[in-house]
Amino acid sequence: MAERVPLPPLQAGLNPYPPAGNQQEFRSGTYVVQIPKDQIYRVPPPENAYIANKYQNNPRRSQKKRWCCSCCCLLWLIVFIIVTVILAGAFVGILYLVVKSDIPRFSIEHVAENSKALSQFQVNLKGENGNSKLVLRYLNGGVVGLEHLGSKIGTGKWPEFEQGSGNSKVFRLVTKGSDAVIKQLKKKHGNKSLTLVLRAQVPIRFEWKGIKSWVMSMDVRCDFKVDKLGVNSRVLSEECDAKLKL
């Protein structure tokens, strides 16, 4: 074990502590203190946590965020509705132009009184579907009326059937009225010619390659003249017109 070396004795007259008056005075100012990097610890001030907590729990910010989401959803909904309306309008316009160019044409082939029922008339009507692409469906619920000078002398139903594209078909309409009205009409005109009007309102639907249109309404009017009212009456002239209601 190494021996301790004794310190040399103090010389006489030397004071290890200098007098207070000889100490160097330190002035206030800015000093740079260097510290090793491994001894530096970064701790965020507590104000940062307070600000972050306040920002996250700010009710105004939450309300603003919800308001922005609601506005975006509403905007997308409005855009969707506008686009849907535009597409539907374009489809309706194209379909209307196609259908309007080839509305079914009608003509009266024969009119006769039922020999067993005085007030019953049979009208043979020919319908032509001039459209080469659309299939026409006459739906249930069509009504028919037979008139003379604005007075109705019989009513009936329009038959339900399908008419292919470019197809023509003759179908029968039966109207029934009052015996008293028919007798009075025959007494007034006898065997003379008279003018009659056939009116019909029919729900229809068009089809194209499996695509069905909505139900439309078609009004048909036929003005015709017969030589007399009877079993063997003959059509002298006729003119039919059809109008489509979307």
Radius of gyration from C-alpha coordinates of the chain: 52
Task: Enter the tokens of residue 108.
Answer: 């009266």
Output DSSP code: residue 22: G
Tokens standing for 27? 């002035």
Same domain, 204 and 129: yes
Q: Give the residue with greater pLDDT, 134 vs 64.
A: 134
- Residue 102 CA to residue 90 CA, distance in Å, equals 19
Q: How confident is the model at residue 1 (pLDDT cuts 50, 70, 90)?
A: very low
Whether 54 maps to a domain, the answer reads yes
Q: The dihedral of CA 142, 146, 147, 153: what is its sign?
A: negative
* Shared-domain flag, residues 137 and 213: yes
Which tokens is 134 given? Answer: 């659309």
Q: List the domain range (segments joined by +) for residue 126.
A: 105-245
Q: Is residue 51 part of a domain?
A: yes
Structure-token pair, residue 86: 């535009």
This prediction's pTM: 0.62
Q: What is the mean pLDDT of the chain?
A: 80
Which helix H or strand E contains 200, and what residues bound it?
A: strand 194-208
Are residues 94 and 206 both part of a single domain?
no
pLDDT tens for 85-95 read 888 777 767 76
Answer yes or no: do 145 and 223 share one domain.
yes
pLDDT band at 45 (very low <50, low <70, confident <90, very high): low
93 & 121 share domain: no
- When divided into structural domains, the chain yields a total of 2
Residues 118 and 187 in one domain: yes
Say yes or no: 150 and 227 in one domain. Answer: yes
Structure tokens at 239: 């003119």
| Cβ atoms of 161 and 140 closer than 8 Å | no
Name every residue whose Cβ is closer than 8 Å to that of residue 127 and which is 6 or more positions away in sequence.
104, 105, 106, 163, 168, 169, 170, 171
Give the pLDDT confidence of 124-181 residue by residue, as tens digits. Answer: 999 999 888 889 999 999 999 999 998 899 999 999 999 998 899 999 999 998 888 8
At 234, which CATH number?
Answer: 2.60.40
